[in-house]
Amino acid sequence: MEQMLKSAKELVTASARSDVPPFIVMDVMAAAARLEAAGVHVVHMEVGQPAAPAPATALAAARGALGGRIAYTESLGIGSLRARIARHYGERNGIAVDPARVIVTTGSSAGFMLAFLGLFEPGDRVALANPGYPPYRHILKALGCEPVLIETSAATRWALDPAALLAAHRATPLAGVLVASPANPTGTMMTGEALSRLIGTAEDAGIRFISDEIYHGLDYAFAAVTAAQLSGRAVIINSFSKYFCMTGWRIGWMVVPEPLVRPIERLQQNLAISVPTLSQVAAEAAFDGRAEMEAVKHGYEENRRILVEGLPGAGLEHFLPADGAFYLYADVSRFTNDSHDFARRMLAEAHVAATPGVDFDPVNGHKFIRFCYAGSREDARATVERVGRWLGRR
């Protein structure tokens, strides 16, 4: 019996590639939920998702579709949705995108997996900006690729710098690079010129370019430029999660160079068959809900203003430029060398939940915390108020 148990244990040993780190923000959420269960009012600034629901147009379309058959769709996505996404690039960016290059995905998360599988071999090195969204490096690792973190600085608005990319490439060749603008956790953006220079540098060096454009539409400082406008060879990844407030619908898209369409179609056929049908129907109708989503965006702008104006008086005067998305990345090194502990204490004592920078940056994350301002105006005001009182500055 003992022998059987022992051999069963050996059989269910998890693979080394599955040994990816957890997402610390989930620990913060769990701690906040425990406080709330004890009757405490917590201000939630930790999770990166909109408080608003999907546009009414999307909800109505989904309700309408529920009466009928919800069947598989083509693996690349419903044709009319792919065409609608392509049209979106004409409307927003003034460029023609062939609907044949559009692939519907289960959120941008599935887009990363498909892009990495479609472009890279095991062992390939892929450059990422540090700090950055943790699943990039964790998915790459799980697929046997090597994430290469490149430090960013104020000089480049916390974006990858072409010279740093080339230096990493010369040290050991890179197969790809992934950037996000607006970025998570920093909320910073690359100008069109900076993005263009980086894409040019990467492509001249034979480095494949992936652009995570999930926060497009949520730009306040200046307009975000899509890589689709700058290169026909870049892989674009986008999602309905953020601008369209559809996180739980798990729906996104890619725009890929023509030679990648069929390989990614074959991957998606095998990995997922197709993307949830109800979500595809809702997503297509979401484009008709832009006026509603613009109002939601104005709410974020207002929250951003409250934090940008209020946090310095509350004691957090150093943060990265909050250009876009709905994040503010604040330097707390004046108070602590351990952002995880700082976030834990801020939650326990000020009842404000925020995410420690160590989630996003293994090098300097201990000096930062991230606030997500995708909630209500009251939450933004309460954050300034409570943090200020807690730090003894109000």
Ligand X SMILES: Cc1ncc(COP(=O)(O)O)c(C=O)c1O
Q: Which residues bind ligand X (CB under 6 A)?
A: 48, 107-109, 133, 180, 184, 212, 214, 239, 241, 247, 252
Residue 97 in contact with residue 86, Cβ under 8 Å?
yes
Based on CB atoms, which residue is closest to ligand X, 303 or 315? Answer: 303
Q: What residue type is assigned to position 192 of the chain?
A: G
Can you tell me whether residue 316 is helix, strand or coil?
Answer: coil
Based on CB atoms, which residue is closest to ligand X, 73 or 247? Answer: 247
Residue 323 in contact with residue 188, Cβ under 8 Å?
yes
332/315 Cα distance (integer angstroms): 9
- Least distance from C-beta 186 to ligand X, angstroms? 10
Q: What residue type is assigned to position 53 of the chain?
A: P
Which neighbouring-strand residues pair with 127? 148, 177
- Least distance from C-beta 161 to ligand X, angstroms? 19
Based on CB atoms, which residue is closest to ligand X, 292 or 359? Answer: 359
The string of DSSP codes covering 43-93 is EE--S-S-SS-S-HHHHHHHHHHHTS------TT--HHHHHHHHHHHHHHH
88/242 Cα distance (integer angstroms): 16
Any idea which residue has 């407030």 for tokens? 245
- Least distance from C-beta 241 to ligand X, angstroms? 3
- Least distance from C-beta 185 to ligand X, angstroms? 8
361/228 Cα distance (integer angstroms): 28
- Least distance from C-beta 311 to ligand X, angstroms? 21
Based on CB atoms, which residue is closest to ligand X, 107 or 289? Answer: 107
- Least distance from C-beta 105 to ligand X, angstroms? 8
Closest residue to ligand X, Cβ-based? 107
What is the number of alpha carbons within 13 Å of residue 353 lying toward its C-beta? 23
Based on CB atoms, which residue is closest to ligand X, 78 or 350? Answer: 78
The alpha carbon dihedral of 342, 343, 344, 346 has a sign of positive
- The kind and range of the H/E element at 143 are none
Based on CB atoms, which residue is closest to ligand X, 187 or 310? Answer: 187
Q: Are strands 252-255 and 235-239 parallel, antiparallel or unpaired?
A: antiparallel
Based on CB atoms, which residue is closest to ligand X, 48 or 310? Answer: 48
> Can you say how many angstroms the Cα of residue 217 is from the centroid of all Cα atoms in its chain?
13
Q: What percent of the chain is helix, strand and coil (3-state, nearest 5)?
A: 50, 15, 35
Based on CB atoms, which residue is closest to ligand X, 189 or 384? Answer: 189
Based on CB atoms, which residue is closest to ligand X, 104 or 314? Answer: 104
Q: What residue type is assigned to position 186 of the chain?
A: T
- Least distance from C-beta 182 to ligand X, angstroms? 8
- Least distance from C-beta 250 to ligand X, angstroms? 7
Residue 119 in contact with residue 125, Cβ under 8 Å?
no
- Least distance from C-beta 36 to ligand X, angstroms? 22
384/9 Cα distance (integer angstroms): 50
